[in-house]
Structure 1
Amino acid sequence: MQEIGKQIRQIRTQRGISLNAYADVLGVSSGYLSNLETGKTQNITLSILEHLQNDLTLVPYPTDNNDELRLRLDRVYNLLFALQSCKPDAVEYLLRCVEEGAEAFLSHYTSSPR
């Protein structure tokens, strides 16, 4: 449980989310989240664990290629969603790059030669 706690803290701080803010997102006290991150508590409800997994992808699942793409897209969504509150212009730029890049590749690889 201590390793998961370290992962939670690392990802939370990389995203620039405070302990109190993330505790609010999870619906737990900041003391509980701090204890979870430091390994001082071994108790976690399934709903909190599911929320953490969905939000942070703590434990990678064995997947096929489509599932891996879905997990990565979900992770990108969560990162962009978190970034949106502090830097919306960066989110717009990143989304535009992905959309235009995907369209360019798709048109190149699906167009028939003339």
Structure 2
Amino acid sequence: MSSFGQQLRQIRQQKGIALNDFAKELGVSPVYLSNLETGKTQTIQLELLSRLQHELPMEADEEDDVDDWTSARIDRIALMLKELHCADKEAAEYWMGMVEQGIEMFAIKAIGHR
């Protein structure tokens, strides 16, 4: 998560947005946002992640940044699924199946066959 948080902080600072202002805009506490940026918290709601992507879009011409952002999200999802698997194997299996089915559905759509 620290890679995600570091990138989040870097983008926010590059855009000249103060931590307190951005936290207020997102509807979270400055402490939570700071903890997210420093990797002290491993929890982020999907809705907040979506708002972050909307508020701090990645630069399209910097392909590595997009890959880092996507990689951080994938790592976070994997961690969450592992933790869920330890707590509730059945729920984890359900969500992994849903993700696999969704990816297959979109891959088939993108490829145009199967």
TM-score of the superposition, structure 1-length normalised? 0.49
Select the structure of larger CA radius of gyration.
Answer: 1
TM-score of the superposition, structure 2-length normalised? 0.49
